[in-house]
Structure 1
Amino acid sequence: MDTLHEPTPSSVCPLGGQLQHAWERIAEQKRQSELAKIPGEWVLAPSVVAEAKNLPSLTDPPFIESLLDAETCRITTTDATELLQQMASGELTAVQVVISFCKRAAIVHQLTQSLLEIGFDIAIRRAKELDEYFATANQLVGPLHGLPFTLKDQFHVKGLETSMGYVGWVDTFEGQKGTNKERRFESELVREFNTLGAVVIGKYMGEGVMQALRGSVFGIGTDIGGSVSMPASYNGLFSLKPSNGRISMKGAAGPSPGQQIMPAVAGIMAVSIATIRLVLRSLLSTEPWLHDPYIVPIPWRETEEYHAESGDLDEPYRPAFGIMESDGVVTPHPPVQRALKAVKEALSRLGHKMVPWEPPSNQESEAIHGQIARGDGCADVWEVLQLSGEPEVYEIRGLFEPDGPRDPLPLLKYQEIVAHMKDYRNRYQEYWMSTAENSGNGKPVDAFISPVTVTAGLLPDKFCYGGYLSCVNVLDLPAVVVPVLFADKNIDKADENFQPLSHVDKTNMDAYDAEAYHGSPAAVLVVGRRLCEEKLLSLAQMVVDALHTGGPDSGC
């Protein structure tokens, strides 16, 4: 989960003082080696970095864009489809586009330390190849020709290292030396992007920041408990977390590689649903199931047209939506409540039926999720930390015993939890089908809308509940984040008569601070049926269009 607040100056060791341990020295050398990849003319003056540190937020575009020339600003604020059109017409070259985004990404990195691997030189070389192809063939290499993107540092890219932020993985291949794979191996997803013409410019552990500040056209993250959806929500972005089997994870590094009951999935973050649709459609055009046996052989399906099945065909079919304003476990903060209300009212104005969504409890899915995701005791994470001697960061310290990982769950206990998961999925499916009684069109609701999390933005040590997201991972459902509005301290006041539903509910609402959350994006989650990403993206766009038709809260 990433945020734009409190950037770390690139010239200052975040540990402070003298580096005492070998792992600290390795980490600092790695940071400096990546910074050295930034061309001198793109390096910010210390005074600029200091100025950025004093800003309450970096989301104000004029600050970033004041550091860029007009041409770079124009290119990096142009929509993906328009960039492709301009490259196809010869108005722009791939080199121009890639250099512009590399320059902007370099500034973003110096202000936020969001990149683990910088690949500007590799990207520019690839852009030159694309331009040479275009000059000869008079056509684009593929549907993503020349579009710069960034991706999470779980994916292997030739010429770049993969560390995932682990010091013990620096100068290795997933912790092993002498494998002949270091900087040579390529993940399947990266291969697909190369054939499509997309250009990787770097790898990160904080894509929400890079997308919010327009450091690349789109970003690829991974999600097993909200790591795509939460950063998108907290940074005012759109995202898609697909069902398992739509986007390849073959050849990607990551924790618990043998855990296939609820595996991590690759997701997409961008500034528009149109860009996400373009990326997913393009990936599926490569027929990834021919290279990855875990991808379902479902090509891109054009979204069905919503027409009534009987009667006047000119009468449009209006999808019905479930709406979960609270799951009865933890109440969302006031800005999130307002975002949900805005969506509900916007869709209702257009005639969509809004059905109260009261499925099997998120508390149940939260319990299932934690036991499956951490059933191995996180032994693999502990072992990687031991490679360098680096300590676990504060946020994950509770996962371990003082002297090592926790014991893994016994096999029979694990199977019992999986059986519970299967039963939960069956009951959830039955509930969804039952909504046909109240949808107004005789069919189950097409998607349901809920909070992404209970908060708008993220304050340190204030996150206490992830049930709204854990259910989509447990159920393997696709989910789209739609930004709605910004928290406003003058509107989003705490309810003095609030009655907590539980101890966790009280803890969460006690942590609400209207002043601290002021200006943070508040989003909603639109969740669809399993493996129905194309339809879900269409439904999410309906939500966006409804918000923009007017009203007091008409969207970010």
Structure 2
Amino acid sequence: MTAAATVRKSTTFATILPLAIFSAFFASYWFAFGDAWNMHPCDAHRLHWQTVVSEKRAELAAKIPQEWLLSQRVIDHARSRRSIAGDFLDSLLDSHTRDITTREPTEIVREIASGNLSSVEVVTAFCKRASYIHQISPAFLEIGFDLALSRAKELDEYFNTHGQTVGPLHGLPITLKDHFHIKGLETSFGYVGWIGTFEGTKGTGKEKNVESELIRQLVSVGAVPIAKTTLMVSTWAPENNNNILGYSWNPYNQELSTGGSSGGEALVQALRGSAVGFGTDSGGSVSMPSSYHGIYSVKPSPGRLSFKDAAGSGLGNLAITAVVGIMGPSIRTLRLVFKSLMETRPWEHDSSVLPIPWRSDQELSPDAILSFGFMESDGIVAPHPPIARALEIAYSAVKNKGHQLIAWKPPSHAANAMHGPLARGDGCPDVYSAFKSSDEPIVPQLSHLFPDGNLKKPISLPDYQKITQEMMSFRNQYREYWTSTSRITKHGRPVDAVILPVSPYAGFKPGKFDYSAYTSIVNILGYTSAVVQVTFGDKCVDVVQDDYKPLGERDKLNMDTYDADASDGVPAAIQILGRDLEEEKIFSIAQIVADAIEEYQAKQA
């Protein structure tokens, strides 16, 4: 193109562009607002989902106090870094905030109970840290700092008046995945169409006025909710994405996914944005993100923690039920929170919770000699090198303490194929309707649910019942296998727990997740599990061996996705599996394993 032609093109473009913009604006104004003149408000709302998102983001930003705002230079620098975990975020904080927010939560509640820290001090520190996190890596669909500080003042007044705490979590700041209703805050569940509504419906009188049972219980024992975390919209994918905040990135390597669907909560816990967090899990949604973020978690069996009055997908499904999981910096913290919730007697307010109080007699002594099943691979997909090494470390650490480990060869994880039909056999009409309510696009991670943008036909009732029978058969086979191990354990009882991978990955790139059976099987069984952190990826050590032979085509595809550079410095964890309703036992076993790993690594160092 000649210089003259270039000038002409530029001039013409400069002349036409304002007119085009005006015409487009006028047209959009006419179609949106002209038609809206005779349109139901909800229909007008549908035409402007981007506007709703912009307003919601601005609302969230306005909830951060002026004195906590980071400069754009700091934000840009943080987003350009490979990692924002560890020292980086700490370096942005004042020493007092840093000191409080990096303490073990069990210590924080002791310090509050002794009068050495006030609830306002603690809540302020965590709200400030959380605000920094959100500005760097958007993590909160709802921010309630003002509500939290108001509650903290009430707790301090109570303590000063009565000389005691309201409960064992007095003044402890918490965050929760945006399933749970908190009075004064919205619940969008990641849907644009739910903003300004109660679960997608306007004018119910319930907007910002409903409290989930779990929230009521937590507040009754002193916990202080400060915010609600972003999630995989609908929860039906192992990544974290929605049209309100966008995709969520792992703070240890910001080119990797947080995982999902509780990835936002894992992100916040990794960066210590609250003392403890709550996610939900129906196929690994708590366990997998926890494993990628260097935190600990417990996924209880159905029937221990309340899901009453919470938002969700497929809530009428009783075959694969979502459970509340707890996420935090230590097993001791998770145990404290779970035990505190049991003290509220949740079964008296939620018929789906079993009447099982905290059972101290189920906990094992730290000196107990245990028998473990040990699974390096399920024979279908082998873990990537960092996870394989984490398993080796755990094996050596546990063995060095005198515990027995036996090869774990249960019924095949191929049974995981039933998880999808059981969990989403209805075709997800609730998800489809929620997207359509605002005309927001279906995020790519959910496109498989709606081929060509349309609803799938639901599974017939006879077919669903058949799959449910297969699930029950698998559960019985697995139980029989577990019980049969009493013949080979030294103590003559079935193995106490199983050590196995959480996921094949130490983090993964967007769109590269392919295998969830290590956790989905746990949900099919209805068992209890915990995640214990072990080590970090090391690109110099964690390499695929030259003599590696794929277990099959799926395993080959899995190993082909391994990137040693991407996994370098990213957490690698293991899973501790117990049987159904063995939460107290698993807390103690997970602590035994965590202590053994810590001692082993100290000696190796």
Relative to structure 1, is the Cα distance of residues 417 and 305 closer, same or farther in structure 2, using a 3 angstrom cutoff?
A: closer
367, 370, 379: which one aligns with 2:429:
379
Provide the secondary structure at the position in 2 that maps to 1:177: coil
Report the Cα offset of residue 37 of structure 1. Answer: 0.3
| Distance (whole Å) between structure 2 residues aligned to residue 369 and residue 378 of structure 1 | 14
1:429 corresponds in structure 2 to 479
| Distance (whole Å) between structure 1 residues aligned to residue 174 and residue 362 of structure 2 | 29
Counterpart check, 1:356 vs 2:414: no
| Distance (whole Å) between structure 1 residues aligned to residue 506 and residue 206 of structure 2 | 42
188, 198, 216: which one aligns with 2:274:
216
Answer with 1 or 2: which has the greater Rg.
2
1:14 corresponds in structure 2 to none
Q: Percent identity?
A: 50
Provide the secondary structure at the position in 2 that maps to 1:129: helix
1:139 corresponds in structure 2 to 164
Report the Cα offset of residue 551 of structure 1. Answer: 4.4
499, 514, 518: which one aligns with 1:449:
499
Give TM-score, length-normalised by structure 1: 0.93
Gaps of 5+ in 1: 1-17, 308-314
> What are the within-5 Å matches in structure 2 for residues 89-238 of structure 1?
89-205=114-230, 206-238=264-296
Report the Cα offset of residue 65 of structure 1. Answer: 1.4
Give TM-score, length-normalised by structure 2: 0.86
2:312 corresponds in structure 1 to 254
| Distance (whole Å) between structure 2 residues aligned to residue 37 and residue 431 of structure 1 | 54
Q: Is the 8 A contact 1:484 1:554 kept in 2?
A: no
Q: Is the 8 A contact 1:488 1:518 kept in 2?
A: yes
Q: Is the 8 A contact 1:342 1:554 kept in 2?
A: no
Q: Is the 8 A contact 2:123 2:173 kept in 1?
A: yes
**RMSD of aligned Cα (Å):** 1.6
| Distance (whole Å) between structure 2 residues aligned to residue 62 and residue 357 of structure 1 | 39
| Distance (whole Å) between structure 1 residues aligned to residue 132 and residue 556 of structure 2 | 41
1:419-476 per-position Cα deviation (integer Å, ceiling 9, x unaligned)? 0000000000000001112211111000001100001012112111111011100000
Q: Which amino acid aligns with 2:540?
A: N
Provide the secondary structure at the position in 2 that maps to 1:402: helix
Counterpart check, 1:346 vs 2:401: no
Counterpart check, 1:509 vs 2:559: yes
Provide the secondary structure at the position in 2 that maps to 1:81: helix
| Distance (whole Å) between structure 2 residues aligned to residue 403 and residue 115 of structure 1 | 28
Q: Is the 8 A contact 1:230 1:453 kept in 2?
A: yes
1:49-91 per-position Cα deviation (integer Å, ceiling 9, x unaligned)? 01101110111x2211121111101110111121112112221
1:85 corresponds in structure 2 to 110
Q: Which amino acid aligns with 2:271?
A: L
Q: Is the 8 A contact 1:248 1:295 kept in 2?
A: yes
1:406-429 per-position Cα deviation (integer Å, ceiling 9, x unaligned)? 011000000000000000000000
1:256-279 per-position Cα deviation (integer Å, ceiling 9, x unaligned)? 111111110000000000000000
1:9 corresponds in structure 2 to none
Q: Which amino acid aligns with 1:228?
A: V
Q: Which amino acid aligns with 1:501?
A: L
Q: Which amino acid aligns with 1:414?
A: Y
Provide the secondary structure at the position in 1 that maps to 2:600: coil
| Distance (whole Å) between structure 2 residues aligned to residue 305 and residue 152 of structure 1 | 29
Relative to structure 1, is the Cα distance of residues 149 and 316 closer, same or farther in structure 2, using a 3 angstrom cutoff?
A: closer
| Distance (whole Å) between structure 2 residues aligned to residue 432 and residue 381 of structure 1 | 37
Provide the secondary structure at the position in 2 that maps to 1:523: strand
Q: Which amino acid aligns with 2:202?
A: K
| Distance (whole Å) between structure 2 residues aligned to residue 514 and residue 190 of structure 1 | 41
| Distance (whole Å) between structure 2 residues aligned to residue 316 and residue 281 of structure 1 | 22
Provide the secondary structure at the position in 1 that maps to 2:395: helix
Counterpart check, 1:520 vs 2:520: no
| Distance (whole Å) between structure 1 residues aligned to residue 197 and residue 462 of structure 2 | 36
Q: Is the 8 A contact 1:547 1:554 kept in 2?
A: no
Relative to structure 1, is the Cα distance of residues 43 and 551 closer, same or farther in structure 2, using a 3 angstrom cutoff?
A: closer
30, 33, 48: which one aligns with 2:56:
30
The count of residues paired between Structure 1 and Structure 2 equals: 529
* Structure number with higher helix proportion: 2
Q: Is the 8 A contact 2:119 2:171 kept in 1?
A: yes
Relative to structure 1, is the Cα distance of residues 461 and 349 closer, same or farther in structure 2, using a 3 angstrom cutoff?
A: same
| Distance (whole Å) between structure 1 residues aligned to residue 130 and residue 593 of structure 2 | 30
Report the Cα offset of residue 546 of structure 1. Answer: 0.8
2:489 corresponds in structure 1 to 439
Q: Which amino acid aligns with 1:300?
A: W
1:165-218 per-position Cα deviation (integer Å, ceiling 9, x unaligned)? 100000000000110000000000000011111000000120011001000000
Q: Which amino acid aligns with 1:253?
A: A
Q: Is the 8 A contact 2:363 2:584 kept in 1?
A: no
Q: Is the 8 A contact 2:447 2:453 kept in 1?
A: no
291, 299, 322: which one aligns with 2:349:
291
